[in-house]
Amino acid sequence: MSDHRTERDSWGPYPLILAGAVIGVLVILLVDLNWGGFVLGGVIMLAAALRFAGYGGPLSVRSKRIDVITLAGFGFVLVLTSLLLYNNELKALILSLFAR
């Protein structure tokens, strides 16, 4: 049996993630820091979900488990940071969880 994968198949979801990252950075620069961070974090979490589903291409750098954990962690922290940036009530709630 031979593998008839084309060059386009080997790229996987990489162009989608790259386009989303460019859109996220443009939103940060042109529209709003909060929305741009949210978009960029969402794109990174989408990359984690696609990597978990088995799509690789240039997204597969390490093992699948490490890639998914790293991408999901960074995406979650970026989304959380963008939500907390100017929301004082939510920020106080999060900080009260860590206060003793």
Summarised one tens digit per residue, pLDDT across range 7-59 is 445 666 778 888 989 998 998 899 988 888 889 999 999 988 888 887 766 65
Measured between alpha carbons, how far is residue 40 from residues 3, 5, 20 in Å? Answer: 34, 30, 7
Summarised one tens digit per residue, pLDDT across range 68-81 is 899 899 999 998 88
Distance CA 61, CA 90 (A): 35
**pTM confidence score:** 0.73
Exposure string over 12-22, b if 16+ CB within 10 A, otherwise e = bbbeebeebee
Which pLDDT belongs to residue 59? 58
Distance CA 49, CA 43 (A): 10
